[in-house]
Amino acid sequence: MGQPAVVMGAMLTCTFGVAPAPLKVMPTKRVMVEGKPVANISDFATEANIGPFGDCITLSNPMVAAATAAALGVLTPMPCIPVTTPWIPVSTTLVGEEPAVTEPAKCTCGYGGIITVTNPGSMKTLM
């Protein structure tokens, strides 16, 4: 059975972020599902595809670690700037000549966060 396609506007969360962020997918040479372009494995770039999750709360982020040290050890969240990796797992269906992203795909942040799809933005599935 197929999984829901992850499309432009899908909502994402990070384990170390304090707010959700929408996924941005460019509509060039893409499959459309419910009128929205479907994401593929390459749609993981910071800012171009995955925006900030509000503030970051992990000490593995150098900005959070520095702010926390300056506050004498009191955890001090700082603005999130994710450092992302490609989505896994992905579908065998190709979108823009690359594997499509379907729920329950995840990607990671270089600071240790796990980025998950909380709402794929569509109900239609890809095989």
Task: pLDDT band for 126, please (50, 70, 90 cuts).
Answer: low
Under 8 Å CB-to-CB from 97, ≥6 apart: which residues?
Answer: none
Whether 29 and 70 have beta carbons less than 8 Å apart is answered as no
Pick the CATH number of 1-53+82-118 from 3.40.50, 2.60.200, 1.10.1060, 1.10.10: 2.60.200
β-sheet bridge partners, residue 21: 12
Q: In this model, does residue 8 exceed pLDDT 80? A: yes
Sketch the domain layout of the chain as residue ranges. 1-53+82-118
Per-residue confidence (pLDDT) for residue 87, from 0 to 100: 97
Under 8 Å CB-to-CB from 12, ≥6 apart: which residues?
Answer: 20, 21, 22, 23, 50, 53, 115, 116, 117, 118
Backbone dihedral region for residue 44 (phi beyond 0: left; psi -120 to 50: alpha; all else: beta): alpha
Amino acid (1-letter code) at residue 54: G
| Ranges 11-20, 21-30, 33-42, 70-79: which has the least confidence | 21-30
pLDDT in tens, 94-107: 988 899 999 899 99
Q: In this model, does residue 124 exceed pLDDT 90? A: no
Instruction: Judge if pTM exceeds 0.75.
Output: yes
Whether 46 and 16 have beta carbons less than 8 Å apart is answered as no
Measure the CA–CA gap between 54 and 19, rounded to whole angstroms: 5
Per-residue confidence (pLDDT) for residue 46, from 0 to 100: 93
